[in-house]
Structure 1
Amino acid sequence: MRIALPPSIDPAAFRERDPAATLVDLRGETMGTSWCVRFAARSGIDVATLDRAIVARLAGLVAEMSHWASQSLLSRFNRAAAGTWFALPPISRSA
């Protein structure tokens, strides 16, 4: 299991802590492994929308960079004939 944590946490982040926030776990599978996001959801957060956004972002990464998905951008690039031009989509600025 890998856990991503920031190198430091700003104490100011705790000043806005919502004690009524609900602890939420979102999880799924992608790229031959699993993912999990745990967070404190403030009132009014649409958890289903957030879950769909995470799934969509991961699916986008697979669509661009998967070496095992035959229709990914990378796979199509790798199949292109040597010395030919291959059109790439614009760089996505969303992360």
Structure 2
Amino acid sequence: AAGQPPLSPSIARRLLRHFAAPAPAAPPAALTARESEVLRLVAKGLSAGEVAQLLQLSRHTVAGYLKEIYRKLSVGSRAEATLEALRRGLVAP
């Protein structure tokens, strides 16, 4: 009426976000052969130290692989990573 917008800018942004189309989901990132191997061993219940010893890597290297695996799979725990390994057929139920 007096040259003022009918909604405050913050409310207008919230309304636009609410009705905006969702962003298309990105396809799952492919794991490298080594990441798949680490995921398979972790899904079988091995600790990071045991995986490092078995693959003759440092514990820090395995931790780096796990961090990258979690990022690529969009998971935040070993349990979620194990479920994803099952889904991908990397381990038998």
TM class by smaller structure: under 0.3
Alignment TM-score, normalising by the size of structure 1? 0.23
Alignment TM-score, normalising by the size of structure 2? 0.23
Task: Give the number of the structure whose alpha-carbon radius of gyration is greater.
Answer: 2
Higher strand residue share: 1
